Amino acid sequence: MHVSPSPSHLETSRALPRLVSDYLARAVPHSRVLPGQIELTQEGLMWSKPGAGARRFTATQHSAVDRVAFEWRARFRIARVLSLDVVDSFCGGEGSLDVRICGRRFQHDDGPETSSGEALRYLAELPWAPHAMYGNRALRWRTVDAAHVEVHIEPDPSLKVTFEFDDHGDIVRAFSASRALRRKGHWLQMPWEGTFCDYRTLGGMRLPTVAEVAWDLPEGRFVYWRGRVLAARALSSPFARPR
């Protein structure tokens, strides 16, 4: 029998592909109230470029449920008394990346390429904010085939990500054919993907707790992010613009 989220859920969304509605029936089976945002606590490793050493991080992420917006705050310990703080965000149609060392700005990225990349990140990480898959009215869904669905942000169909489902109905991969990557001072369009596994129930939501993110570079696949979700919770308060 086909089981979907409650009718009140579906009234807040556009038509959902069968793969997505079945996925949500397991991801948020008992939810009755749409939260304002999802909070995640993470830990993991990042690589700045191919061949570089890994840097360990801890992070907190807040993802909006009703619109395309998120903030990821991470801390990298680089010495006994020094840390590198990163804020990656998208809000109000604009994305930014801010890097500080001991409170002093070391790097700041914004502009159209950064914004489109951050919007794609929000889409790819929807498995970590399942309520947004039906509660965000800016999302448009399309079935590709028996194992894939595509989601894009209205009104820009170029901001799209494809999800791959396994035989059990879990999302195991999210990918985009082209995301802007800055290399040697130039923005290049490159294939980009994230993989998900180890589904568990955290904060009443069934989520993938392990993920890996990579670029498909001309010289080969470059994994630059590998992490684990330690905790998750749905918050009633709406997502607020980062300060």
Residues 57, 84 contacting (CB under 8 angstroms): no
Comparing CA positions, the residue from 35, 43, 86, 40 lying closest to residue 64 is 35
Taking the CA atoms of residue 105, residue 107, residue 108 and residue 109 in that order, the dihedral angle to the nearest 10 degrees is -170
Instruction: Count other C-beta atoms under 10 Å from residue 57's C-beta.
Output: 20
What are the tens digits of pLDDT across the range 92-126?
999 999 999 988 898 999 999 999 999 999 999 99
Q: Residue 240: helix, strand or coil by DSSP?
A: coil
Which residues does the chain have with pLDDT short of 70?
1-14, 241-243
Comparing CA positions, the residue from 25, 22, 31 lying closest to residue 65 is 31
pTM: 0.92
Predicted local distance difference test score (pLDDT) of residue 3: 36
Q: What whole-number distance in Å separates Cα of residue 224 and Cα of residue 243? A: 27
Instruction: List domains and CATH numbers for the chain.
Output: 38-235 (2.50.20)
Predicted local distance difference test score (pLDDT) of residue 5: 42
Predicted local distance difference test score (pLDDT) of residue 140: 97
Q: How far apart are the first and last CA of the chain?
A: 47
Predicted local distance difference test score (pLDDT) of residue 185: 85
Predicted local distance difference test score (pLDDT) of residue 62: 98
Write the CB contacts of 106 (distance below 8 Å, at least 6 apart in sequence): 84, 99, 100
